[in-house]
Amino acid sequence: MAASAVMYFPFTLYFTLLLLVSLSCNATESVLEEATVPSPQLTNNIGHRIDGRVEVLSASDKSWMPHIKILVDGGEYTGFLKTDGTFTVGALPSGSYVVEIHHPAFLFEPARVDISSKGKIRGRKVNNLQPGSLKTIAYPLEFRERGKANYFQMREQWRMTDFLFNPMVLTMVLPLLIIMVLPKMMNAADPDTQREVQTQMNALNAKQSLPDMSEFFTSLFSDGKKPIKSKSSSKKR
């Protein structure tokens, strides 16, 4: 009986140690699996892609290529040019994307790409005012420079028209033109019209005529009496 108890105790101890070791191994494996779960953004290699080409016709060489960056949806996906001017942005789920070409010296028109769940791709122009309007473009996409980027405002230059249409010049020139043209018009009119215009101008001048300042101050300080001029007699010695 004692011998059987002695044999049972080592077997039980061995079984317990084996169970503990297996549990610790399973826990370690689960921890490692949790730590090495790949990110879906890094391993989602299965998806759609957007292809296109960028051309700068005004450039004589290809020095502009390294500075080109392709941005999809404002930089959520990015791409770069190949040596032949083409680009590919992959690992895209189905949806609608805006493709923009960024370059510090050139401007490009953006394009919208619609990718269906079946993999059908359609390119169309970007219309922010009417997003529902469909104006398709060729696919793979083709981008050409719209112009050069201008980061400075041109300084205004002096022009003759600015001087002529200045309000101060107009207020001075228009009355002179009227004075020069009006007499010619009056000479061309009949005598009755001339007399009528002359009468109106004389009446207007009479109303606008102002009193002499010297007479005004003289009447003010002399209480309405005209001053008497005194003759000075010069005595000869």
Report the domain count for the chain: 2
Give the DSSP letter string of 148-170. Answer: E---SPPPP---HHHHHT-HHHH
**Residue among 23, 27, 104, 40 at smallest CA distance from 66:** 104
**Residue-level pLDDT at 113:** 92
**Residue among 105, 100, 99 at smallest CA distance from 147:** 105
pTM check: above 0.85: no
**Residue-level pLDDT at 195:** 77
How distant, in Å, are the alpha carbons of 57, 66, 233 from that of 84? Answer: 14, 12, 115
Residue ranges of the chain with pLDDT lower than 50?
Answer: 1-9, 27-45, 230-237
**Residue-level pLDDT at 174:** 80
Do 165 and 118 belong to one domain? Answer: no
Instruction: For residue 70, give its domain range.
Output: 43-148
Do 134 and 167 belong to one domain? Answer: no
Alpha-carbon distance 84 to 49, whole Å? 18
Domain boundary among 115, 148, 181: 148
Residue 199 in any domain: the answer is yes
Do 122 and 170 belong to one domain? Answer: no
Question: 3-state class of 3 per DSSP?
Answer: helix
**Residue-level pLDDT at 19:** 64
